Amino acid sequence: MGQTLTEKILDDHLVEGDLTPGEEIGIEIDQTLTQDTTGTMVWLQFEALGLEDVQTELAAQYCDHQTYQFDFKNTDDHRFLRSAAGTFGAHFSRPGNGICHNVHKENFAAPGKTLLGSDSHTPTPGGLGQLAIGAGGLDIAVAMGGGAYYVEMPEVVNVRLEGELEGWASAKDVILEMLRRLSVKGGVGKVFEYTGPGVESLTVPERTTITNMGTELGATSSIFPTDDQTEDYLERVGRADEFVELGPDEDAEYADEITIDLSELEPLIATPSMPDNVVPVREVEGERVEQVMIGSCTNGSYEDILPAVKMLKGNEVAKHTEMIIAPASKQSAEILARQGHVAELMAAGVNFSEATCGACIGIGHVPASDSVSLRTFNRNFEGRSGIEDDNVFLCSPEVATAAAIAGEIVDPRDLAEEYDLEAPGIELPEKYDGSKADLISPDEAIDDELIKGPNIGDVPLKDPLGDTVGGETILKMDDNITTDHIIPATADILKYRSNIEKLSEFTLSRVDDTFAERAKAAPGGVLVAGENYGQGSSREHAALCPMYLGIEAVFAQSFARIHKANLFNFGIVPLAIDEETYAKIDQGDDIEIVDNIGEGVRSGADEFTVSVNGEWEFTAELDASERERDILAAGGKLSWTKQQAESGGAAPADD
């Protein structure tokens, strides 16, 4: 039987298991990516594991999320990251050089290689045939140390593209259409592999918009085959020699197939406050817009800004609307500046930010109260923009620019008539020839020891799993709780990412601001949630902080992939419950696992009897591999990995 592209790359990198969907596999990692808000923990864990040198072919450390450095704590984090990259042998991208996924795509992403990153949008370079997966920081630390990455073998779904995009429809509309059809949990346990005759019409930047936002489907990854478009892109970024032709076998078998006819797509928009609330733009036309932003790792590159240049020629941003462009990479901004486009945009009323994630997580450009903001980003979770009850819509650069000109949401096809606009289409620069001054290779490193500021603490450890787990139900939550609910990423909180004691005070504050205090005071404690608990970010802090506050187990109807792995990694037991049980449990209920949990976890038990207030009982399921059970039993992955190394087991190697 033939193989899918995903299976081929996994097969090439397989170190444990076989490619049976649902079974755990171990794969070798070629490249890693870390960023500033998850990276500090990664390197502290790398240090705590006693590792000395990066073992992967390439490791790259980016500073992209909080580049405005509002607080010395951010700047200290960046200096620490530079020192860690230098000390351990990683490339270092300075603050302001751009968003990790975009800078990685331009400089390092390579077809056929595996990439593991401590950011959920790591799958971005799937658009050029790289198998890239987002994971919790501790998994990256272990991979950088030479250890395998373990993941459930995903089902591979064939997304067959037919036709070509026409007029004002764009790559963003392809992924918004996927979200409209499948929802934010439709991709859990899956890799979306794009195939079909429509693929060849899409350039690499268009493909990476799609693979990037595949994360919002909850997917393990998304990938395109490589072809002339890939070769062309690699040539433009000056890495033509890295091209390899890759694709599925003709008789490859997929778990499922979805067909999208590109020629039938129209401009779409995700309405507040979930990326899958997708409707045609025409359905929400006429809404007054006060802010428009082009940026983020999804649509912030040169190719995403150029449509704005074309559409704003001879036009201006409406007087009651602010338009901000935050380039995804400094290189994009530099090329646009050399071409004179930055000046043209400024003259049309656009405000330029430095190349950063920033506003995507509520750092800068927070929308005004009770106002609409249109963004080319990938997430519009409630409050993520920095204000509660926000109204953030997600759309393509074309739809965003149309709104900036009109001052209201408008389908660009309708605006085109009035303003005599032509669909801008996609255009790549001749060469991506920006300066590399902000990229420091391991050979150019200026540090050879770690520099820790006063805010950089230790990584907390947990005791091995005991016989009992339980306590008060400190919080009961709904479906689709995001990691932004669990540990918000706004400026006031982000500065504590390297200081767990302080950061944990903000745990679940978006849901209930008394949570942290109550959790800390209670002996033990559990969380109860509906479907898709922990969707969104890879931030391991969303497990680390509840662990620090004493949470011992999470009972949920289902879990998001990365968050579930993070719960194991920090010794919190993730248990599945059915809808009926979820409905019956109340906040405040006293929950005790009746069976000896420590023994059960170690011996492979997958069902546990749980008592509520000593009055009624239910069964909760533990879906865990042998390795995950060992990790839980040890009190988390850090302790487990250390134990493995001490006993000469299969832990990260160091030379």
Contacts of 545 (CB under 8 A, 6+ apart): 486, 487, 500, 503, 504, 506, 507
- Provide the phi-psi class of 615: left if phi over 0, else alpha when psi is between -120 and 50, else beta: alpha
Give the CB-side neighbour count of residue 570, counting CA atoms within 13 A.
29
**Residue 38 contacts which entry, ligand MIC, ligand SF4, none (Cβ below 5-8 A, type-dependent):** ligand MIC
Least distance from C-beta 105 to ligand MIC, angstroms? Answer: 15
Residue nearer to ligand MIC on the CB measure, 63 or 148: 63
Residue of the chain from 361, 395, 440, 474 that contacts ligand SF4 (CB under 6 A): 361
Answer for the pair 498, 41: CB distance below 8 angstroms, yes or no.
yes
In the window 615-634, what residues touch ligand SF4 (CB under 6 A)?
A: none
The interface region with ligand SF4, picked from 193-201, 228-236, 356-364, 423-431 by CB under 6 A, is 356-364
Instruction: Report which of 299, 360, 392 is spatially closest to residue 484, judged by C-alpha positions.
Output: 360
Residue with token string 């007087």: 319
Beta bridge partners of 326: 295
| Residue from 156, 239, 158 nearest 199 by CA | 158
Stretch that binds ligand MIC, among 117-125, 138-146, 338-346, 416-424 (CB under 6 A): 117-125
Number of residues that bind ligand MIC (CB under 6 A): 12
- Considering only 196-204, 357-365, 443-451, 568-576, which stretch makes contact with ligand SF4 by CB under 6 A? 357-365
Residue with Cβ nearer ligand SF4 (212 or 498)? 212
Residues 1-40 that bind ligand MIC (CB under 6 A): 37-38
Query: Closest separation between CB of residue 80 and ligand SF4, Å?
Result: 20
Tell me the CB-side half-sphere exposure of residue 229, using CA atoms within 13 A. 20
DSSP H helical segments within 394-472, as ranges?
397-406, 412-419
Which class for 443: exposed (0-12), middle (13-18), buried (19 or more C-beta within 10 A)?
exposed
Considering the complex, what minimum distance in angstroms separates the CB of residue 92 from ligand MIC? 18
Query: Binding ligand SF4 by CB under 6 A: which of 324, 360, 526, 573?
Result: 360
Q: Which of residues 60-89 bind ligand MIC (CB under 6 A)?
A: 65
Structure token digits, residue 416: 């085109």
In this structure, which amino acid lies at residue 457? G
Residues whose CB falls within 8 Å of the CB of residue 205, separated by 6 or more in sequence, listed in order? 127, 171, 233, 301, 302, 303, 304, 426, 428
Residue 219 binds to ligand MIC (criterion: CB under 6 A): no
Q: Is 540 in the site for ligand MIC (CB under 6 A)?
A: no
Nearer to ligand MIC, 37 or 56 (CB): 37
User: Considering CB distances under 5 to 8 angstroms, the limit depending on partner class, which of ligand MIC, ligand SF4, none binds residue 151?
Assistant: none
Contacting ligand SF4 (CB under 6 A), which of 85, 135, 260, 297? 297
Running DSSP on this structure, what letter comes out for residue 131? E
Distance CA 590, CA 560 (A): 25
Is residue 104 within the footprint of ligand SF4 (CB under 6 A)?
no
d(CA 478, CA 531): 8
Integer Cα distance of 482 and 233 in angstroms: 34
Q: Which does 296 bind (CB under 5 to 8 A by kind): ligand SF4, ligand MIC, none?
A: ligand SF4
In angstroms, give the least distance from the CB of 562 to ligand SF4.
13
The footprint of ligand MIC on residues 500-539 (CB under 6 A) is 536-539
Who's near 646: CB < 8 A, 6+ residues apart? Answer: none
Judged by CB under 6 A, the chain residues 441 through 500 that form the site for ligand SF4 are none
Question: Which CB atom, from 220 or from 378, has the smaller least distance to ligand SF4?
Answer: 378
> DSSP letter string over 86-123?
HHHT-EEE-TTBB-HHHHHHHHT--TT-EEEESSTTTT
Q: Determine which residue in the list 106, 119, 303, 472 makes contact with ligand SF4, applying CB under 6 A.
A: 119
Beta bridge partners of 599: none
- What is the footprint of ligand SF4 within residues 62-81 (CB under 6 A)? 65
Cα→Cα distances 636→298, 407, 462, 529, Å: 33, 51, 7, 22
Instruction: Quote the CA–CA distance of 422 and 521 in Å, as a whole number.
Output: 62
Give me the least distance between CB of 486 and ligand SF4, in Å please.
Answer: 15
Of 361 and 374, the one with the shorter C-beta distance to ligand MIC is 361
Is residue 99 involved in binding ligand SF4 (CB under 6 A)? yes
Binding mask 375-414 for ligand SF4 (x = CB under 6 A): ---xx-----------------------------------
Query: Which one among 82, 104, 121, 413 touches ligand SF4, defined by CB under 6 A?
Result: 121
Token pair for 57: 């072919």
Min CB(380)–ligand SF4 separation in Å: 11
Stretch near ligand MIC under the rule CB under 6 A, chosen from 116-124, 316-324, 563-571, 594-602: 116-124
**Nearest distance from C-beta of residue 140 to ligand SF4, angstroms:** 15
Nearer to ligand SF4, 172 or 629 (CB): 172
DSSP, res 408: B
Show the binding pattern over residues 184-203: x = contacts ligand SF4 (CB under 6 A), - = does not.
Answer: --------------------
Place of tokens 């395998």: 148
From start to end of 213-363, where are the E strands? Answer: 221-223, 256-261, 268-270, 278-280, 291-295, 322-326, 350-352
Span interacting with ligand MIC, options 115-123, 348-356, 366-374, 399-407, rule CB under 6 A? 115-123
The 10 Å Cβ neighbour count of residue 294 is: 28
Closer residue to ligand MIC, CB minimum distance, 13 or 121:
121
Token pair belonging to 72: 């010395």
* Exposure string for 542-573, b = 16+ CB within 10 A, e = fewer: bbbbbbbbbbbbbbbbbbbbbbbbbbbbbbbb
Q: Verify binding: residue 211, ligand SF4, rule CB under 6 A.
A: no
Among the listed ranges 280-288, 353-361, 440-448, 513-521, the one in contact with ligand SF4 (CB under 6 A) is 353-361
Comparison of 102 and 183: residue with beta carbon closer to ligand SF4: 102
The vertex-83 CA angle with 332 and 108, nearest 5°, equals 35
Give the one residue of 60, 188, 333, 357 binding ligand SF4; rule: CB under 6 A: 357
Kindly state the smallest distance separating residue 444's Cβ from ligand MIC, in Å: 26
Q: Contact between 121 and ligand MIC (CB under 6 A)? A: yes
Can you give the binding site for ligand SF4, defined by CB under 6 A? 65, 99, 119, 121, 296-297, 357, 360-361, 378-379
Can you give the binding site for ligand MIC, defined by CB under 6 A? 37-38, 65, 119-121, 361, 489, 536-539
